[in-house]
Amino acid sequence: MGLKLFSPEFAATGCARKIFATRSNSAMLERLAHLDGVPWSLKHTILVDMGGIALRFLPPKDGETPTPDQARQRILPDNKKRPQFIKDFCRRQNRLLKWCGKIPWDLWECHVQHASDMEKGIQPSTRAESQEELTFSEADVAALAGNIWILDSKQLAIARKRGIITEMPKIKEEAIDDKSKSDGLVKIIAVLQVLWLVVQLVVRTIEDLHFTQLEITTVAFAATAVIIYSIDFIKPKDVNVPFYIDVEKAVEYDDFVATAEAAPFAYIQGKRYYMPTSTLHDIIDYQDEDMISDDDPHSPECNICLQWKSFIDSTRSKNNKCSWRNPYKLSPKAADIFSLMIGFASATSFGGVHLFAWNSDFPTHVERLLWRISALMTIVLPYIYIATHVPYIGYTVADIRKQMKLPMNIALGCIAICYIPCRLFLVIESFRALYYLPSEAFKATPAVMSIPHLG
């Protein structure tokens, strides 16, 4: 809420980047679900990236003689040693979540051992020693040390590919819709209300009637909200309880490392065991042999599969190695470029709307000048911040973690010093100007009011 209050264009850019990654990754998940014979759609992938599907690890069934590896499939006993970074993670997590009651997440003995080995830099057996060192965040590794795994779309594909789960989750779209509190009609009505306000302002401008700065500010926020609504229109809303998938298989160290290294990049919020709202999801590389090499060649093929294969063999996509194509499949570079374009559009619409009050009546000439400067700065400063990301277009999450973040943080801090006061002034001045409205501001627009409307 605070982010959208001070920088709604930043929120719109983040939403765009997330949905592009989700749409692209959905191609692989749809392929895997098709091989398993379970339903899957874009809405399922969105649910995964929200943290709406949880893997719940269970101990071996009673009556079975557990192997030494299976014997560690249990909640970590209190007398067992815990690495310091896991202790710190649990302390930070409990500090926030203790007010929510008992959480279902507990340390899982074999996962704690894998996390400890990974923190020490032990290479997986399938990785050559000459390859680069492990790239990960300690918070991501600590989150996987529990008996509940909240994975995003790329991690879920890895879990299925490596056999951590034997098949894709079988969830009907109706079950997702039942958990969602979203209502498309409400969103449409909200957009119509915004358009109604815009029509009023246009008519008042034509008839040379005064409009208030608060109306302009409302339209500016609403313009960004429309962009976010259009991006997240089919996204389930307020899914408070995830779908649990029970897992009895012991996770091998190699599989643990692959899952941890593909974890999304969390920003603003601290990492907990669940999926943070502000995350940057990694995009599946469809040229990666590890992601596409073990598709079942003997799976029964339907007409849809044959059509897809025909499309893949066409000249347009003959260099694409993926055997299942999604029209929204994007490369990381393309997803970043499209996200930055939406960021520029959001910054322009949000700051540009305030420019419509360029010649409006203000209490003093100084306030009019400050309004003009603040409106221009709310356009220019986001452009500068977005431009700092241009050199990192197409980088994976692992690449981002390797980069020096200090220069970017310095740039962000300098921009924030100027941007936040400008945003505060625009909001405060919108309300302050209400005390100095001319009489024309209270005149109605009969030509518009005669149209049927709400509110």
Residue with tokens 């409400």: 186
pLDDT for 398 equals: 67
How big, in percent rounded to 5, are the helix, strand and coil portions of the chain? Answer: 55, 5, 40
Percent of the chain at pLDDT > 90 equals: 19
Burial 88-99 (b: 16+ CB within 10 A, else e): ebbeebeeeeee
CA-CA-CA-CA torsion for 423, 378, 279, 329, nearest 10 degrees?
150
Q: What is the mean pLDDT of the chain?
A: 79
pLDDT for 229 equals: 80
* Contacts for 264 with CB less than 8 Å, ≥ 6 apart: 49, 152, 154, 275, 276, 279, 280, 281, 282, 397
Q: Greater confidence, 14 or 49?
A: 49
- For 207-250, what is each residue's pLDDT tens digit? 777 778 888 888 888 888 888 888 877 888 888 889 999 998 88
pTM: 0.80
User: Does pLDDT of 328 surpass 70?
Assistant: no
Most confidently predicted of 75-89, 303-317, 376-390, 401-415: 75-89
pLDDT grade for 158, boundaries at 50, 70 and 90 = very high
- Tokens matching residue 394: 């197409």
- For 294-324, what is each residue's pLDDT tens digit? 444 444 444 444 444 444 444 333 443 333 4
Q: Greater confidence, 439 or 321?
A: 439
CA distance 356 to 358: 5
pLDDT grade for 292, boundaries at 50, 70 and 90 = low
User: Does pLDDT of 168 surpass 60?
Assistant: yes
Query: Would you list the domain boundaries of the chain?
Result: 17-178+240-280, 184-234+332-438
CA distance 322 to 27: 9
Closest CA to 20 of 310, 341, 308: 341
- For 179-211, what is each residue's pLDDT tens digit? 877 666 777 777 777 777 777 777 777 777 777
CA distance 425 to 375: 10
CA distance 404 to 388: 13
Contact call for residues 169 and 245 (beta carbons, < 8 A): yes
Most confidently predicted of 106-110, 268-272, 344-348, 412-416: 106-110
Q: Is 389 helix (H, G, I), strand (E, B) or coil?
A: coil
* Contacts for 429 with CB less than 8 Å, ≥ 6 apart: 213, 362, 367, 370, 371
